[in-house]
């Protein structure tokens, strides 16, 4: 494991010099957190009568330096979640030497940033409007034609669990129409749904509702199997209600650094 971390953190042509003791300490910290988090997910899966293979972990690395991603790559992680386009694009450029990385854009995305994200993202979350879907479609088509990517962009639609427009998300007929739009695109792939529970909501109740919405969608779009729900504080409840991907930042990465990469 130590050799893998060293290779990941020192092999890139753009890797910045770092104090070896600090890198080692951070690697030890992340390794311990990853072990504990994996055990927690495994336990939640067992309690829910599911296998660990049914739930993937997406490390949320926004605000953390590229060096942390290199360490996690050395620990076997390949998928990373980012939510700020400028920060993410910088990390993508810096870490091109990590050939198996898959980037997932998990934040709310402005339409004018869609063409940039479509160049490097494997998946975009939080899609909740026909205009954003159209912008992603156009951006992905352009990236495919330019040879900047070689496969359709996976899209997760955001479900609103509280009908608050400030938090984003759609539901009902609007959700089904948006799913139809994405599924009809040659440049986009309808991967599934995601949601964030309302503040102070009962996670079990919120995720139970999301599970019902997902089951309904699957009747018309059986390919939309991804259900991304659950974060550091509520992943057990999400797994009980069918989550296939938990997005974890704090429980893995620790508190946000004062300065971000």
Q: Where are the alpha helices (DSSP H) in the chain?
A: 2-10, 20-47, 66-74, 85-94, 114-117, 130-145, 172-184, 203-220, 235-240, 250-253
Q: Which residues of 48-74 are buried (b: 16+ CB within 10 A; e: fewer)?
A: bebeeeebebbbbbbbbbbbbbbbbbb
pLDDT of residue 142: 98
pLDDT of residue 258: 62
pLDDT of residue 199: 85
pLDDT of residue 57: 98
Structure-block tokens of residue 217: 């969608």
Per-residue pLDDT tens digits of the chain, which is 261 residues long: 444 444 444 444 344 445 888 889 999 999 999 999 999 999 999 999 999 999 999 999 999 999 999 999 999 999 999 999 999 999 999 999 999 999 999 999 999 999 999 999 999 999 999 999 999 999 999 999 999 999 999 999 999 998 776 778 999 999 999 999 999 999 999 999 999 999 889 999 999 999 999 999 999 999 999 999 999 999 999 999 999 999 999 999 999 876 544
pLDDT of residue 259: 57
Residue 236 · residue 47 · CB < 8 Å: yes
**For a pLDDT cut of 70, what percent of the chain falls above it?**
91
Helix count and strand count (H, E) for the chain:
10, 8
CA–CA separation, 81 and 72 (whole Å): 12
pLDDT of residue 17: 45
The domains of the chain, with CATH numbers, are: 2-11+20-253 (3.20.20.10)
Listed as own residue / partner, the contacts of 35-38 with beta carbons closer than 8 Å and 24 or more positions apart are 36/251, 37/248, 37/251, 37/252
């Amino acid at each position: 494991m130590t050799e893998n971390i060293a290779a990941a953190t020192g092999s890139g042509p753009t890797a910045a010099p770092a104090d070896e003791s600090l890198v080692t300490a951070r690697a030890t910290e992340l390794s311990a957190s990853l072990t504990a988090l994996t055990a927690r997910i495994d336990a939640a899966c067992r309690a829910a009568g599911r296998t660990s293979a049914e739930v993937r972990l997406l490390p949320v690395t926004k605000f953390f330096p590229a060096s942390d991603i290199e360490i996690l790559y050395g620990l076997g992680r390949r998928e990373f979640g980012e939510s700020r386009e400028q920060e993410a694009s910088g990390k993508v450029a810096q870490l091109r030497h990590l050939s198996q990385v898959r980037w997932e854009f998990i934040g709310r995305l402005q339409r004018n940033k869609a063409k940039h994200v479509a160049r490097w993202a494997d998946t975009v979350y939080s899609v909740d409007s026909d205009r954003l879907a159209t912008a992603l479609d156009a951006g992905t088509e352009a990236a495919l034609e330019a040879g900047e990517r070689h496969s359709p962009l996976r899209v997760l639609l955001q479900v609103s669990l509280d009908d608050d427009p400030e938090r984003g998300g759609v539901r009902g007929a609007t959700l089904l129409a948006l799913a139809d739009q994405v599924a009809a695109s040659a440049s986009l792939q309808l991967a599934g749904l995601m949601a964030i529970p309302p503040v102070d909501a009962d996670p079990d109740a919120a995720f139970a509702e999301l599970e019902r919405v997902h089951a309904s969608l699957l009747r018309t779009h059986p390919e939309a199997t991804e259900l991304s729900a659950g974060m550091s504080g509520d992943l057990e409840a999400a797994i009980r209600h069918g989550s296939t991907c938990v997005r974890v930042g704090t429980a893995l990465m620790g508190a946000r650094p004062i300065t971000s990469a």
